[in-house]
Amino acid sequence: MELILWRHADAEDGRDDMARRLTPKGEQQAAAMAKWLRAHLPGPFTLLASPAVRAQQTARALAVPITEKSLAPGATVAAIVKAVEKHRGIVIVVGHMPDLGRAAAELVASAQTEWSVEKGAVWWLAGEAPARIKAVLSPELL
């Protein structure tokens, strides 16, 4: 398994959480991360995204995503793993905190806690649980 957890980039505040859009800074973060991913992904991949607009916009910087309702804010680790297991090869999940941070902690360290995944950052995990952390990149360090 190769799983890339990608947190949506910087987004505007807003009353309707699902409709919040990326800020100009967020658009730049998403574009920069998409460029890095294109340069380093070894081959074909499946791109899954939460239905929230900020996740959809982040994903679209790379490709047209498959929208997974189960990845909406509040996704459980089990829901994330289930969405990923439907696909083979490299799967990229564009989602939210603390959901992605919980998934990383569970898959890498079997820990029921949440790790900090920064806005617009990717966590690239490899292997079955316990997974190995292959790469982590935050937009400021690209």
109 binds other proteins (CB under 8 A): yes
129 binds other proteins (CB under 8 A): no
Identified binder of other proteins from the candidate list 38, 89, 116, 129, rule CB under 8 A: 116
Query: In angstroms, what is the minimal distance from the CB of 92 to other proteins?
Result: 16
- Dihedrals phi, psi of 120, to nearest 5 degrees: 80, 0
CB closer to other proteins, 86 vs 130: 130
CB closer to other proteins, 26 vs 68: 26
Q: State in Å, rounded, how far the first CA of the chain is from the last one.
A: 25
Note whether 60 and 94 are within 8 A (CB).
Answer: no
CB closer to other proteins, 6 vs 123: 123
CA-nearest of 45, 81, 42 to 66 is 45
- Which residue is associated with the tokens 């800020």? 23
CB closer to other proteins, 13 vs 39: 39
138 binds other proteins (CB under 8 A): yes
Instruction: Collect all residues with Cβ–Cβ distance below 8 Å to 82 and sequence separation of at least 6.
Output: 70
141 binds other proteins (CB under 8 A): yes
Nearest-angstrom CA–CA distance, 83 and 73: 14
103 binds other proteins (CB under 8 A): no
Phi and psi based region of residue 66 (left: phi greater than 0; alpha: psi -120 to 50; beta: remaining): beta
Q: Which residues bind other proteins (CB under 8 A)?
A: 40, 105, 108-109, 111, 115-116, 118, 121, 123, 130, 132-138, 140-141
